[in-house]
Amino acid sequence: MFNNKIIGHDFQKGILKRAANENLVSHSYLFSGSDGIGKKLVANEFAKLINCKSRGSVDSANLDSAACVCGSCAKIDKGIHPDVIYVQFEGVKSIKVEQIREGVEERLFLKSFEGKFKVVIVDEAERMSNGAQNAFLKTLEEPPPNSVIILITSNPDSLLPTIRSRCQLVRFNTLAEELILEELKSRGDLSSEDAIVCSKLSNGSLGRALMMDSDLIGWRKELIQYLMHLKPDSAMSIIGLAEYMPLTSDPEDMERMTLAFEFISLWLRDLMLIKTDSDKKGITNVDLIESSMQIAEKWDLDNILDKMGALEKTRNDIYNMNANKQLSFENLFIRLAS
Ligand SMILES: [Zn+2]
């Protein structure tokens, strides 16, 4: 049932599959792990597994590689199964008590329509306010029969300890770079060189990797090449690069700026690795390795560490001190050039 579209997480899938097969399904689970690694997909597949109408009649080993087409699984796949409830609070900063009452409790306590289990999947559970969490706690303490609550979070520490202790914890790890690379190659949207860079930039999150397209990966390359050729005594080149940065407060520009910081930081890290690590395996910008090696020859370790410090300071100035972005970047680029 856990079909091929979920990559990795074999251990976690094994635990859940065993629970389903041995009728030991818990009332509540807490799926924790980084964003974009597949927790929601696994929750969805688990909802299918415990409600599947052909499970038991088919060898469960066979179900692993083929998507089930029974009425229940098909409806869950389409998101229209009446007993599988997705609780998402898009655009809401903090989930309030009333939202938990209406969104979860009222629906959870309705008798199930056609499923064996009523399943409630709460994404980004860490956004529940303390009040909402306390309301939720009551449901967790006295869950209706045949109900399964799955809380999903990338930040389990922001949930009350009493919530965490009520749930069976399933911890998801980030995905291996090789798995992500394999998946990117099989999707074929990126050149193989871009796919390697993307898998390295993904931090083990397939969701994050899939948000990067060849334009973004190309932009990263351009940015770093620009940095490599910055002339400390040329105001033109410093100002030119600062102008090249996305500096408005549009969410899109802000996101791009966050990525720019990350790209520059990873490139400086590459330079450190080139200087200190002989096998170069951890290098992110594999498409710039030759030119990075030339730069690394010119800069000593202290110089690179200084530049890293300047980058962190600029990041802090912009995000926490509301500094002027254009000026901050110009100052940063002067530091990076020298
Ligand atoms: Zn099925």
pLDDT per position as a tens digit, 183-192: 999 999 999 9
Q: For residues 326 and 317, give the distance between their C-alpha atoms in angstroms, rounded to a whole number.
A: 12
304 membership: H or E segment, kind and range: helix 301-320
CA of 49 to the centre of ligand 1 (A): 7
CA of 47 to the centre of ligand 1 (A): 10
CATH number at residue 88: 3.40.50.300
pLDDT band of 324, cuts 50, 70, 90: very high
CA distances from 181 to 186, 191, 199, 213, 260 (A): 9, 11, 5, 14, 22
Distance in angstroms between the alpha carbons of the first and the last residue of the chain: 57
Share above pLDDT 90 across residues of the chain, in percent, rounded to a whole number: 64
Chain-wide mean pLDDT for the chain?
89
pLDDT band of 98, cuts 50, 70, 90: confident
On the 0-12 / 13-18 / 19+ scale of CB atoms within 10 A, 254 is middle
pLDDT score at 210: 93
**Is pLDDT of 323 > 70?**
yes
How many structural domains does the chain have? 2
Q: Order across the sheet with 118-122: list the strands.
A: 84-87, 118-122, 147-153, 28-32, 168-171
CA of 48 to the centre of ligand 1 (A): 6
CA of 59 to the centre of ligand 1 (A): 12
CA of 74 to the centre of ligand 1 (A): 7
Looking at 121, 151, 171, the residue that finishes a domain is 171
Count the Cβ atoms, other than its own, within 10 Å of residue 310.
Answer: 17
- Length of the chain, in residues: 338
CA of 63 to the centre of ligand 1 (A): 9
pLDDT tens-digit profile of 153-166?
Answer: 999 999 999 999 99
Q: For residues 289 and 280, give the distance between their C-alpha atoms in angstroms, rounded to a whole number.
A: 9
pLDDT tens-digit profile of 118-134?
Answer: 999 999 999 888 888 99
pLDDT tens-digit profile of 60-88?
Answer: 443 443 568 889 999 998 999 999 998 87
pLDDT band of 304, cuts 50, 70, 90: very high
Mean pLDDT of 272-297: 90
Q: Answer yes or no: do 153 and 226 share one domain.
A: no
| Closest CA relative to residue 200, chosen from 210, 188, 209 | 209
Q: For residues 300 and 293, give the distance between their C-alpha atoms in angstroms, rounded to a whole number.
A: 12
Share above pLDDT 70 across residues of the chain, in percent, rounded to a whole number: 94
pLDDT score at 243: 79
Structural tokens at position 79: 């998101």
On the 0-12 / 13-18 / 19+ scale of CB atoms within 10 A, 283 is buried
CA of 52 to the centre of ligand 1 (A): 4
Instruction: Please report whether residue 282 resides in a domain.
Output: yes
Which single residue is written with the structure tokens 């706690």?
137
pLDDT tens-digit profile of 195-242?
Answer: 999 999 998 999 999 999 999 999 999 999 999 998 878 888 888 888
Q: Answer yes or no: do 85 and 227 share one domain.
A: no
Residue type (1 letter), 198 = C
Mean pLDDT of 87-94: 75
pLDDT band of 47, cuts 50, 70, 90: very high
User: How big is the CA angle at 4 (ends 2 and 9), to the nearest 5 degrees?
Assistant: 65
CA of 183 to the centre of ligand 1 (A): 25
Residues of the domain holding 286: 213-337
Looking at 118, 150, 171, the residue that finishes a domain is 171
Instruction: Please report whether residue 177 resides in a domain.
Output: no
User: Are the C-beta atoms of residues 312 and 321 closer than 8 Å to each other?
Assistant: no
Q: Answer yes or no: do 19 and 96 share one domain.
A: yes
**Is pLDDT of 57 > 60?**
no
pLDDT band of 248, cuts 50, 70, 90: confident
Q: Answer yes or no: do 142 and 256 share one domain.
A: no
